[in-house]
Amino acid sequence: MPAEWEAHAATWLSWPRREGISFPDSYDRVLPTLRAMVAGLLESEPVNINVCNGAHEAEARAALEGLPNDKLTFHLIPTNEPWCRDHGPIFLARAEDPRLAIVDWDYNAWGGKYPPCDLDEVVPTRIAEKLGLPVYYPQMILEGGSIEVNGAGALLTTEGCLLNPNRNPQLNREEIEQRLRDYLGVREILWLGDGIEGDDTDGHIDDLTRFVDEQTVVTVIEKDQADPNYEPLQANFDRLRSLKVGGKPLDILPLPMPNRIEREGLRLPASYANYYVGNRTLLLPTFADPNDEEALTVLQFAFPKRRVIPIDCRELIWGLGAFHCLTQQQPAV
């Protein structure tokens, strides 16, 4: 499985449905954020968007009117919700033709929290059919946001998610690790603990810790010791300091957390780690927060050859995800 910063042929998205559950009563308010996201992606690479039908495509096109459309393609692949990182395909690079393959992990909407997910569950195979690619079926539930790879054989994940009994109660840690090795081509599996408060995925790694090169990670740190995120994030940081990749300690770049964001009494899982790395741009979720600038500085240092685009995600995060959750990269081969 290639790293996200390696060259992309395209980025895949699933356009949200007005009647979906991700943006209750806020669909229209989130459209400017989605437009800014697509605009930033189009600076960098082609964009493929899954839609449910012609009317849905027309709605998406209206929201994106005025953007260059020569690299924008719509596909009739219906989805329940827009989180393509989790329901979309995991692409693998291969030595033989075709040079790409797709892994279609089972999907149950984050432990059965948000039925129905019947359309989302078959998205990887539908995309494979469109692209004419072979598909592998590991017979294990896994979301793309729960894993992070360095493209050189190492994978980061969390116990809070992958070992949660609402995913694969029939598999133990060793069996899960073996399937990750077998189907993603990784050798080293690095485990962190729990995720951030408000994360309904049970602790996805893409809100916590991300590889920025083969030996370096950024990881979110909570500075307020009274915040519920302080202890789990400190525990993850301590683990990272003890982990090695290829026999060498990780280089660690601390990334701040935004201040607490609540809506209707719920804490939302706002995290600067939920950025997306395109070919020439990096989409950074921001929150009109004093820590926005520090996060931008850290990520511009980590990715000096890319333009970091800060985009206000205060409406998007009401759906409990940001840019990494919405995107899925297709590697260039």
What is the set of active-site residues? 325
Say if residues 135 and 124 touch (Cβ distance below 8 Å).
yes
Half-sphere exposure of 255 (CA within 13 A, CB side): 33
User: What is the sign, positive or negative, of the torsion defined by CA atoms of 216, 218, 224, 225?
Assistant: negative
| Cβ neighbours of residue 95 closer than 8 Å, sequence gap 6 or more | none
Alpha carbon separation from 108 to 86, 115, 181, 185, 201 (Å, rounded):
10, 8, 22, 24, 11
Report d(CA 236, CA 99) in Å as an integer.
36
Which residue from 107, 101, 106 is spatially nearest to 135, judged by alpha carbons? 101
